[in-house]
Amino acid sequence: MDCAQIEGRTSRELVESIERAVQQGRAAPGDVVPSVRALARHVGISPATVAAAYRDLRTRGVLTSAVGRDTRISARPPLTSRIAPPLPAGLRDLSDGNPDPRLLPSLTDAAHAVAMDHYRYGDATLIPGMAELAARVFAELDPAEDQLCLTGGAMDALERVLAAWLKPGDKVLVEDPCYTAVLDLVRAAGLLPVPVAVDEYGLVPDRLREALSTRPAALIHTPRAQNPSGAALDPDRAAELAAVLDEHPDMAVFENDHAGPLAGQPFHTLTAARRRWVLVRSVSKSLGPDLRLAFLTGDRLTVSRVEGRQRLGTGWVSHILQHMVLQLSSDPAVHKLMQKAERTYTDRREQFLASLAAHGVPATGRSGLNVLVPVAEEYATLRRLQELGWLLRAGEPHRLAGPPFVRITISTLQPAEGAELAAHLAEALYPRRRSHPA
């Protein structure tokens, strides 16, 4: 992005000019913005005014920067642009993170099976049977009814919980690498993300201990099916992390178990006996991303704040969605399909990891729908894979301080495709050696 695209004499005008450029597609995610001094000279105002505009844009999540690095447009700035980059023709798209549509239940069948009345202002926000379903979703925790509520998906839950817990300027521990929407929401709320390294078993205990020295207000983590790494806690790692967190009893913990029963690994929690905590499970991976509904449990005060704020805004989670989810969740055929999906995703993930290992390509992916492959240079690797017919996802939007990688969504990846992709990854990463087993 060059200086000529930006205009304004005040900090506010500069902010609006840059936001318009992003919204209109003239400035793309990842574009470097001019230095403070260069833009100040071009526009004819003081560097302090430009610095204030950049600071505002960073606080709102439009810009990102780090010491010794360029200031850039964020990977996913909190602005709506209707200009989508065209997808090159002929590519096998493994970049999107979606579940396999063939392993999702029919929404049409569910809609025909339910009878729905009109909801009136002041009626109960939960339809009959929904509180019981929420209790079953969190059966291992046995929450009371006043510890349960619904939100419009996992990220809606996160946004509401962050607003209930924190104020702008607070520090929040996040996984590194991390789900991009988590970073987007944290930055857009004016919070400061503090990275904690992740390995195949989740947060690294020593790195968590170091990050806790920054006096954060909250931790956001994924106990299994971590996006993008596929990390999942095991009993030993969960115990180690819980012992570290016990030294900080007042810090709030948000646990995003978004994949739930489809994760392919058992659930282990870090929320036990904490004063401020939330656990969220959505239906996006099991029943479909367009069913914008998640179940939330947590400490009573947090749940009350989330529900109270929800009633001031959207009011409630649509009863149409509630009826759909309740119908699907009570259908034995849907339960069988979910079990099939969990087995299928596990098989596809493990077969792909085995193919990568056969070519000497390191990777992580203990659970969920994604596999992470470390690389020396992300965009060179992605370009080479595009030449070979594959569209993968860069790691840059997911990471703060961690090393580069590419992410592959395995939800629709067939074994033969996985073997071919593994060979192509080996060719791209190790061009001077043979890309097939000896």
**What pLDDT is attached to residue 162?**
96
Asked if residue 229 and residue 256 are part of one domain, the reply reads yes
How many CA atoms are closer than 13 Å to the CA of 419, on its beta-carbon side?
Answer: 4
Of 289, 312, 330, the last residue of a domain is 330
**What pLDDT is attached to residue 413?**
97
pTM of the entire predicted model: 0.85
Asked if residue 194 and residue 151 are part of one domain, the reply reads yes
Neighbours of 42 (CB within 10 A): 15
Asked if residue 380 and residue 295 are part of one domain, the reply reads no
Taking the C-alpha atoms of residue 397 and residue 183, their distance in angstroms, rounded to an integer, is 9
Q: Is residue 435 part of a domain?
A: no
Taking the C-alpha atoms of residue 388 and residue 94, their distance in angstroms, rounded to an integer, is 13
Neighbours of 280 (CB within 10 A): 24
Residue 50 lies in domain: 3-73
**What pLDDT is attached to residue 438?**
43
Asked if residue 135 and residue 66 are part of one domain, the reply reads no
**What pLDDT is attached to residue 328?**
97
Taking the C-alpha atoms of residue 141 and residue 210, their distance in angstroms, rounded to an integer, is 30
**What pLDDT is attached to residue 397?**
87
Asked if residue 194 and residue 69 are part of one domain, the reply reads no
Task: Measure the CA angle with vertex 152, ends 410 and 108; round to 5°.
Answer: 70
**What pLDDT is attached to residue 86?**
65
CATH number of the domain within which 229 lies: 3.40.640.10
Asked if residue 234 and residue 378 are part of one domain, the reply reads no
> Backbone phi, then psi, for 151, in 5-degree steps?
-135, 170
Asked if residue 228 and residue 356 are part of one domain, the reply reads no
**What pLDDT is attached to residue 81?**
56
**What pLDDT is attached to residue 424?**
97
359 to each of 84, 194, 352, 354, 426, how far by Cα in Å? 35, 35, 11, 9, 6
Taking the C-alpha atoms of residue 226 and residue 286, their distance in angstroms, rounded to an integer, is 16
Asked if residue 368 and residue 338 are part of one domain, the reply reads yes
Q: Is residue 79 part of a domain?
A: no
152 to each of 180, 207, 290, 422, how far by Cα in Å? 18, 32, 10, 37
Asked if residue 351 and residue 318 are part of one domain, the reply reads no
> Backbone phi, then psi, for 389, in 5-degree steps?
105, 15
pLDDT along the chain (438 residues), means of 10: 90 92 86 92 92 88 75 76 64 94 96 89 91 96 95 96 95 97 90 96 98 97 98 98 96 97 96 96 96 97 96 93 96 97 98 98 97 94 95 92 96 97 96 58
Counted domains in the chain: 3
Taking the C-alpha atoms of residue 438 and residue 436, their distance in angstroms, rounded to an integer, is 6
Q: Name every residue whose Cβ is closer than 8 Å to that of residue 296 and which is 6 or more positions away in sequence.
A: 148, 149, 150, 151, 157, 161, 278, 279, 280, 303, 306
Pairing of strands 171-176, 218-221: parallel
Per DSSP, 32 falls in state: B
Asked if residue 244 and residue 218 are part of one domain, the reply reads yes
Q: Is residue 147 part of a domain?
A: yes
Is 22:77 a contact under the CB 8 Å cutoff?
yes
Of 330, 357, 380, the last residue of a domain is 330
Full 3-state SS string of 346-382: HHHHHHHHHHHHHCCCCCECCCCCEEEEECCCHHHHH
Asked if residue 322 and residue 339 are part of one domain, the reply reads no
In angstroms, how far is CA 332 from the centroid of its own chain?
30
Q: Alpha-carbon torsion 132, 138, 141, 145, what sign?
A: negative
